[in-house]
Amino acid sequence: LERRQEELGLAPAGDDAEPPAWVLLVMETDDRSLSSRLSDDAERLEEAGWQCGPTAEPGTATLHSGGGPPLHIVEGRQVVTAERLEVLATPCSDALASGLSLGETLRAARRSEAVAILPWGFGKWTGRRGRIVRALLESPRRDGLLLGDNGGRFELGVKPRLLTLGAQRGFPVVRGSDPLPIASHVRRVGSSGSLLRGPFDPDRPATSVRALLGDLRRPPRAFGRGPGPISFVLHQAWMQLRRSGR
């Protein structure tokens, strides 16, 4: 984290400027809670030099490592709609149902007081699904919806057309690392992200994240680079083989 602060030109701890708060948004895909996962991984976290501390909010935790900056963990949910589009809801500790329509899923996220993010995915915003996304972006309603870019996208110098359209239509685009279920991708966690400006309460990270994301009116500064063309093709081919082998 300290190396990342230096790379981004952010104020280190001890400077007069307020040091940045590092937040990892973890998207759960099942009914397990963040607390149960951290409990199960407590031994491995300690071996890696991390100490897990509580906060005043459920679905959150703070990890400390030596004298470095703390890492705040905020739980969210990743669900698949009836149209086979992904929706991220954060912060969210509720078990959101998959298989609902896109509209119903977005309404469920709002009922849980979560910020809904519609993440781009390779091949997922094309064809019939692409037309559904386009219709949503061209609709007059916003309802606080954000769009998601990710560090797994091979960058050819231009963003996907629907991400560009969304930004033009006033949908802020946030970036995440989005690691694939590949062993080497454990190192990709936190390698891409967005820098948000505003107040942050370390004892209430979920409330802070909700407010910061909810107040976005334009795309925040992003960091991180996508993979090279060979790595991108190999990872996508592996994912297709993994799906066909289920």
Crossing angle of helices 127-138/161-168, nearest 10°? 10
How long, in residues, is the chain? 246
Tokens of 119: 């993440």
Q: What is the pLDDT of residues 28-72, one digit of tens each?
A: 887 778 888 888 888 888 888 889 988 999 999 999 987 788 999
Give the DSSP H/E element, type plus range, for residue 103.
helix 102-111
| pLDDT of amino acid 9 | 80
Q: What is the pLDDT of residues 87-143, one digit of tens each?
A: 999 999 888 999 999 999 999 999 999 999 999 987 889 999 999 999 999 998 777
Amino acid identity of residue 143, one-letter, is D
Confidence label for 12 from pLDDT (cuts 50, 70 and 90): low
Task: Please state the pTM of the whole predicted model.
Answer: 0.86
Q: Is the pLDDT of residue 14 over 80?
A: no
What's the farthest any 2 CA atoms get from each other in the chain? 55
Q: What is the pLDDT of residues 136-179, one digit of tens each?
A: 999 987 778 999 998 877 766 568 899 999 999 999 999 998 87
The owner of tokens 């397990």 is 32
Amino acid identity of residue 176, one-letter, is G
Give the DSSP H/E element, type plus range, for residue 240.
helix 229-244
Q: Is the pLDDT of residue 246 over 60?
A: no
| pLDDT of amino acid 166 | 94
